[in-house]
Amino acid sequence: YEWDIGHFQGAQRPNVDCFRSTSFGLSESEQEMDSSDPLNGIDKENTDILMYCTGGIRCDVYSTILRKKGFRNLYTLKGGVSNYLKEEGSAGWVGNLFVFDGRLSLPPATYKPGAGDDDDEEEEEGRNRSSSELGRCYACGSEVVELRHRNCANIDCNRLYLCCGRCVEELRGCCGEGCTAAPRLRPLLPSHQRYHKWHLYRHLDLGAPSSPS
């Protein structure tokens, strides 16, 4: 989900839902290899591998794991993307940066005011081309106005996803039709507020609305 609101130009979206499920380069044999793993079949001794993440910590952890698997030329972005945006501005970056607090999403200018103001035509063209891949509504596939995730109103789903304003209203804050009839629904929150603990909502009657007669 981080890639969906911002990434470096040319970066490929990893086929994983969260860091804990990442297993790139960890196959013990060719029979176990996943075709979607970009590290399958590469020369572990001579191939350069660059990783980046928000603050650099996850990359440090995973590079240690890969080194134990025999990968040698491992590189990480010092201080993560947040430090890169402070030092270099938005050069090469498309969209916003996902952050792990209540804000969820920050534009590059938050880290370096004026970032992107001096981009040349080639940089701007590349940014516009890559930005077409950002901000797709999980429910209908249309572009979203604000690059900021929300949690599904169904607490037993709690999916973190992007959603357009129309689908937010029609699905009452849920990520899909299947969640609108769930037994433990939270209220539709305005804008991109974060949900509180379930006990604050469980007394509310938020069942699926009855069909008009």
Q: How many C-beta atoms surround the C-beta of residue 42 within 10 A? A: 14
SS3 state of residue 58 = helix
Q: Is 21 helix (H, G, I), strand (E, B) or coil?
A: helix
Exposed/middle/buried for residue 175 (C-beta within 10 Å: 0-12, 13-18, 19+): buried
| Contact of 182 with 154, CB cutoff 8 Å | yes
Task: Give the rounded distance of the alpha carbon of 115 from its chain centre.
Answer: 21
- Hey, is 196 helix, strand or coil? coil
Q: How far is CA 126 from the centre of its chain?
A: 20
Q: Which residue out of 18, 53, 164, 167 is catalytically annotated?
A: 53
- Closest alpha carbon to 81 in 192, 7, 174, 171: 7
Cα angle for residues 164, 169, 171 (degrees, 5° grid): 90
Annotation says 137 is catalytic:
no
The C-alpha atoms of residue 152 and residue 158 are separated, in whole angstroms, by 5
Indicate which residues carry an active-site annotation. Answer: 53
